[in-house]
Amino acid sequence: MKEKIRQFLAKNKNTENLTDDDDLFEKGFVNSLFALQLILFLEKEFRVRIPNDVIKEDNFRSVNAIVGTVAALTGSSAD
């Protein structure tokens, strides 16, 4: 799961020095348009519906946060 998310991020920005705990907002990876693209990618790739009440900055702040959010919604492991 982590690798697929990192590959998606790499399509838009250089992720060479990005760690899984880096703040994606602070590093300039996420703006409002990209946030929508990210949510659509996650829903399609992992076959999950992300409810509005889950769409909060903290749930998408880092690769690890995204993985945790998707894993919680799908009931799968964070790998």
Q: By the 8 A CB rule, do 32 and 57 touch?
A: no
**Closest by CA position to 60, among listed 77, 34, 49, 11:** 34
pLDDT band at 79 (very low <50, low <70, confident <90, very high): low
Residue 62's pLDDT is what?
Answer: 96
Q: pLDDT tens digits, residue range 22-65?
A: 999 998 888 888 889 999 999 999 999 999 999 999 999 999 99
Q: 2-74 adopts what CATH topology?
A: 1.10.1200
**Closest by CA position to 1, among listed 62, 55, 63, 73:** 63
What are the sequence ranges of the domains in the chain? Answer: 2-74
Residue 3's pLDDT is what?
Answer: 94
Report the predicted TM-score, pTM, of the whole model to 2 decimal places: 0.89
Residue with tokens 């348009």: 33
